Amino acid sequence: MTDVNLIALLFVILMIVATVGLGIYATGLSKSASDFFVAGRTVNVFWNASAISGEYLSAASFMGIAGLIMKSGYDALWYPVGYAAGYLFLLLFIAGPLRRFGAYTIPDFAEGRFDSPTFRKIAVIFVLFIGFFYTMPQMKGAGTTMAAILGWPYWVGIAVVGAVITFNVALGGMKGITFVQAFQYWAKLFAISVPVFILCSIFGAYNQTVGANIETPKSGPILTKDATLKFRGKKDAPLNAVSFSPSGAATIRFPKGAWIAKISPARKPSPGDDPVPAVDLPPAATLPDGSHGYRIEPNETYSGQPFPVTHSGQPVIKAGKPVVTAPKLEFAEPTTGIVLVGSPVPNAPTNEKWVTPFGPLTSKYEFPLLYTYSLIVALVCGTAGLPHILVRFYTNPDGRSAKKTTLWVMVLIGLFYLFPAVWGALGRAHMPWLYGNNSTDSIVIKLPTGLPNVTLGQILSGITSAGAFAAFMSTFSGLLVSMSGALAHDIYGKMIKPDATGAERLVAFKLAAVIFGIISILLGLTIEPFDITMLVGWAFAIAAASYFPLLLLGSWWRGLTRIGATAGMLTGGLLSLSAIICSMLIDRKILTLEVSPIVRTLMEQPAIWGVPLSLITMYMVSKATQSTLPADVDMKMLRLHAPEELGLSRNYIEH
């Protein structure tokens, strides 16, 4: 796995060169300050839609979804669906009014709609918050891809991607990235679709691969050759856990031995269930850190045997059959193990669990329906509230083309999202050992290398690596532009030096881009142990409970007051954020907190209460503070909704 894939490296370099080259070329076309910020507002619908899609399809979309579908099956299909569905809501309720209002950033909207500079400050803080949360998973994706395909250290990938993008954004501004991002959408679509057609023609069709899971519901993927897995230690919890499959015995040989902190039944035990039978335990020992655990000596093997679940000695029966589970090991120290050929792959859900709804992802805490709905709410509302996506609507000449653009975006991202599921299904069937490593995230990069034809595999893997790079780069540049824009335009241009000239703002923008680029690289270095999807989830949940209610009510309800909007945003946004951070700390075993499964579900997926809470707070507080409504609120509503022909729209920024 450490051998360098030179072909992949070449493709990645080509992608970086094309990105920078296009950025430089586009700079020649970008002249005035307004060009720099909003691409002169004249980008045509199709290219703008390509650019929005290019910006939206991040590392999470390109690698994370395929990996999650491979890992969790059906339930993870809600991710691409939620991302696409969020866009529909954006189209239905937000795209047109927002563009018509003529503001350039969300803070502009916040201030313009409520005449409140204070509110602008709060909105800016949220832009930066969501922005940083969303850049972290991009950085993590860059670091791990480079580590996986080229054997680079984690930090090198981050430094390379971070530096290239920062340079590009500071050089070209938004006009630059409109071209770059439109190009990158098509590069990503090519990279996720073309290799998959070739893979399907060799490995077997998508529908057959999915269908194979229905035929043998109780079994799971089985290793066709020995697989060497790297296991993590306690400090990377929960990634240090390995669950054996209940479908059959699996044997792992540990060349270097292993320290095991805990062995428990893989099926989530209900109170009163008996522990793992003593015959399935290795010798007890004192771990290097002094606590109790188990020791497997070098070159010894451990066999994970399925066993019936018992409750105070009585077998547990479900639907007339005894329930079977298998041991789950939690390693104390990192080690390597060789899973022997013929073993069912550890950590892989059974075929039935994978292909049917309410599988391992949503049933984690026994409330699968609640989990599913809350996930849907987060994805749908979060999309509609992502600041770096919304900012692009101002590059449309008018509200009408904003709607048309969104329509095109629906088509483009929908097309893209047909493919990650194919990767997930093929990955499960043909590269199942990634389950054991908890590294299903890299399936898009690794799967092609499993082809019998090595060169073809390397070429295809090179294409997907370049696509993955396009994904981190485009999303990161979008975020960098909206964060730097917020700083240059909102903080510098509005608060620090209101009479700044265009040239001064431009300098501020470039400076901000470099500063935020450096901060993002540094943040990226610190988050290696966290999951890509977990980090993206933070950004979505915060956006869903803060910006989405603001934009929805702000565009459609004249009675929304500044105090109401602020209260709702802060309550919903901050409470959701704290719930997610608590949940994450519990997962990583930093925080120990006994909560009921329903509360645990609501902490991990807070959108189902966060969004309504924010909306209700906005409503109630606004009702109580109606006297603070601006005198010209009707005029503002008019500007949000009047068609351009009436001549009421005014651009917020005059050049």
Which residues lie near another protein (CB under 8 A)? Answer: 74, 77-78, 80-81, 84-85, 87-89, 91-93, 96, 103, 108, 111-112, 115, 117, 205, 207-208, 210-211, 214, 355-358, 369, 372-373, 376, 380, 400, 403-404, 406-407, 410-411, 414-415, 417-418, 421, 556, 631-632, 634-635, 637-639, 641-643, 645-648, 650, 652, 654
Cβ atoms of 246 and 350 closer than 8 Å: yes
Least Cβ distance, residue 250 to another protein (angstroms): 27
Cβ atoms of 433 and 223 closer than 8 Å: yes
Least Cβ distance, residue 189 to another protein (angstroms): 13
Least Cβ distance, residue 413 to another protein (angstroms): 9
Q: Which residues contact 156 (CB under 8 A, 6 or more apart)?
A: 143, 146
Least Cβ distance, residue 172 to another protein (angstroms): 28
For another protein, the closer CB: 63 or 376: 376
For another protein, the closer CB: 106 or 421: 421
For another protein, the closer CB: 154 or 556: 556
Least Cβ distance, residue 31 to another protein (angstroms): 23
Question: Could you give the CA distance from residue 79 to residue 375 in angstroms, rounded to a whole number?
Answer: 8
Closest CA to 573 of 595, 540, 602: 540
Least Cβ distance, residue 397 to another protein (angstroms): 15
For another protein, the closer CB: 355 or 551: 355
Beta-bridge partners for 93: none
For another protein, the closer CB: 71 or 175: 71
Tell me the three-class secondary structure of 515-570, residue by residue. HHHHHHHHHHHHCCCCCHHHHHHHHHHHHHHHHHHHHHHHHHCCCCCHHHHHHHHH
Question: Could you give the CA distance from residue 464 to residue 469 in angstroms, rounded to a whole number?
Answer: 8
Is residue 596 exposed (0-12), middle (13-18) or buried (19+ Cβ within 10 Å)? exposed
Least Cβ distance, residue 275 to another protein (angstroms): 32
**E strand or H helix at 59:** helix 59-59
For another protein, the closer CB: 355 or 443: 355
Least Cβ distance, residue 117 to another protein (angstroms): 7
Closest CA to 337 of 432, 437, 239, 253: 253
For another protein, the closer CB: 219 or 303: 219
Query: 116-122: long-range contacts at Cβ-Cβ below 8 A with a sequence spacing of 24 or more?
Result: 116/562, 117/494, 117/495, 118/562, 118/566, 119/562, 119/565, 119/566, 120/490, 120/494, 121/495, 122/566, 122/569, 122/570
For another protein, the closer CB: 122 or 421: 421
Least Cβ distance, residue 403 to another protein (angstroms): 5
Least Cβ distance, residue 83 to another protein (angstroms): 11
For another protein, the closer CB: 89 or 307: 89
Closest CA to 146 of 170, 133, 162: 162
Question: Could you give the CA distance from residue 211 to residue 208 in angstroms, rounded to a whole number?
Answer: 5
For another protein, the closer CB: 254 or 416: 416
> Which CA distances in Å does 613 have to 9, 282, 373, 572, 573?
48, 50, 16, 6, 10
Least Cβ distance, residue 103 to another protein (angstroms): 8
Taking residue 583's Cβ as centre, other Cβ atoms within 10 Å add up to 23
Residues of 460-481 as b/e, b for ≥16 C-beta within 10 angstroms? Answer: bbbbbbbbbbbbbbbbbbbbbb
Cβ atoms of 220 and 355 closer than 8 Å: no
Least Cβ distance, residue 638 to another protein (angstroms): 5
Least Cβ distance, residue 363 to another protein (angstroms): 12
Question: Could you give the CA distance from residue 444 to residue 464 in angstroms, rounded to a whole number?
Answer: 7
Least Cβ distance, residue 536 to another protein (angstroms): 20
Least Cβ distance, residue 90 to another protein (angstroms): 10
Least Cβ distance, residue 643 to another protein (angstroms): 4
For another protein, the closer CB: 462 or 549: 549
Sign of CA dihedral 212, 213, 214, 218: positive
Question: Could you give the CA distance from residue 78 to residue 61 in angstroms, rounded to a whole number?
Answer: 12
Query: ω into residue 306 within 30 of 0, thus cis?
Result: no
CB-side exposure of 285: number of CA atoms within 13 Å? Answer: 16
Question: Could you give the CA distance from residue 293 to residue 282 in angstroms, rounded to a whole number?
Answer: 9
For another protein, the closer CB: 217 or 342: 217
**Pairing assessment for the beta strands 310-311 and 314-315 based on DSSP bridges:** antiparallel
Question: Could you give the CA distance from residue 16 to residue 469 in angstroms, rounded to a whole number?
Answer: 8
Closest CA to 536 of 144, 70, 137, 140: 137
The two tokens of residue 493 are: 């241009």
Question: Could you give the CA distance from residue 416 to residue 370 in angstroms, rounded to a whole number?
Answer: 28
Question: Could you give the CA distance from residue 534 to residue 470 in angstroms, rounded to a whole number?
Answer: 21
Give Dmax (Cα) for the chain: 81
